[in-house]
Amino acid sequence: MTVSAVGAVSALPAIAPITTSDVTGPSSSGADFGAMVAQGLQRLQQVQQTADDLAVQAATGRLTDVHDYMIAATEASLATSLTVAVRNKALESFNEIMRMQA
């Protein structure tokens, strides 16, 4: 890997990991959860936009290192899969709560 390739890879926006300081205790309000969901969707959109931009560059011949696009496309695919899995788990949990007897 050349030095220019390392610089190009580090220029890609990274998905920030969720740390324990990002998650509040059980007394947190619904607004905090909503903000976390909105932030996650915004990160997903940014990752997908980066992959789309690199795809256009690759198609027009302006992208020098195709592996940059492959990395971005894989990252976008994984982020999408994670988002769908979280959505499915949230819906499953909601449905389970709705089935509980009062």
C-beta separation of 51 from 22 below 8 A: no
For 55, counting Cβ atoms within 10 Å of its Cβ (0-12 exposed, 13-18 middle, 19+ buried), the class is: middle
pTM: predicted TM-score of the whole model, two decimal places: 0.64
102 residues of the chain, pLDDT tens digit each: 444 444 444 455 666 666 655 555 555 556 688 888 899 999 999 999 999 999 999 999 999 999 999 999 999 999 999 999 999 999 999 999 999 976
pLDDT score at 2: 43
Half-sphere exposure of 93 (CA within 13 A, CB side): 6
Query: Which tokens is 91 given?
Result: 């819906």
pLDDT score at 16: 67
